[in-house]
Structure 1
């Protein structure tokens, strides 16, 4: 027969695991759910740009790429484009001209290079 300490410890472990599973699979915040829905929708549509296209777009924000480089985050018709080689004096809301270089594996975002600040 199991003692109260063992049963109590088992209950705590079960609660911790259950809480983690709930958060992982059901307990996402509204922002996380919307982000996942946008990602899923993006996988089901064709990108609005092609490799080699030159576009004008506004910088929304900057992010640090896994390589350590600073990249501008832009959107074209809601499609995310990460832009390399953006000058340090550029800020969010600046309009830049870019050239599309490649797509990620799922074609849900693209990489581009900065050509000029407009």
Structure 2
């Protein structure tokens, strides 16, 4: 016998709805933002980095985030190339312009790690 109480029917309908949403998300594939991020990553792999280890560059901070190092880093771009900058002042914010010295490239040379030198 199939239960027909309103609560059971509502719960079954919710489960069916969740399954349908999951199926639709898989059919649609990744978001436009995810596809654009993947394209940018692939383009970065195909070109030489526009920065050199040991050199200092000036750029705007696009965001502050926790890096794999566990510390907050400033993220910015030099000619579209992502630079993660450590040892930033605690009052640094998005939009601030800084100078940073490039220390190393990350795997695939698609981004670089740097250390804060000064505010521009």
Aligned to 1:7: none
Match of 1:104 among 100, 103, 106: 106
Q: CA deviation at 1:36?
A: 0.5
SS of aligned partner of 1:49: coil
RMSD of equivalent CA atoms: 2.1
Aligned to 2:72: 70
Deviations 1:47-79 (A, max 9, x none): 000101111111110010123200000100000
Asked whether 1:87 is paired with 2:89, we answer yes
1: CA distance between counterparts of 2:49 and 2:109?
Answer: 7
- The two structures have a TM-score, normalised by structure 1, of 0.78
2: CA distance between counterparts of 1:82 and 1:67?
Answer: 11
Match of 2:37 among 18, 35, 44: 35
- Name stretches of at least 5 consecutive residues in structure 1 with no aligned partner: 1-14
2: CA distance between counterparts of 1:80 and 1:64?
Answer: 15
Deviations 1:15-70 (A, max 9, x none): 89x949x73x9601111111101111110000000101111111110010123200
2: CA distance between counterparts of 1:78 and 1:32?
Answer: 17
For 1:1-20, list aligned pairs within 5 A: 19=23
- The two structures have a TM-score, normalised by structure 2, of 0.77
4+ residue segments displaced more than 2 Å: none
Aligned residues between the structures? 102
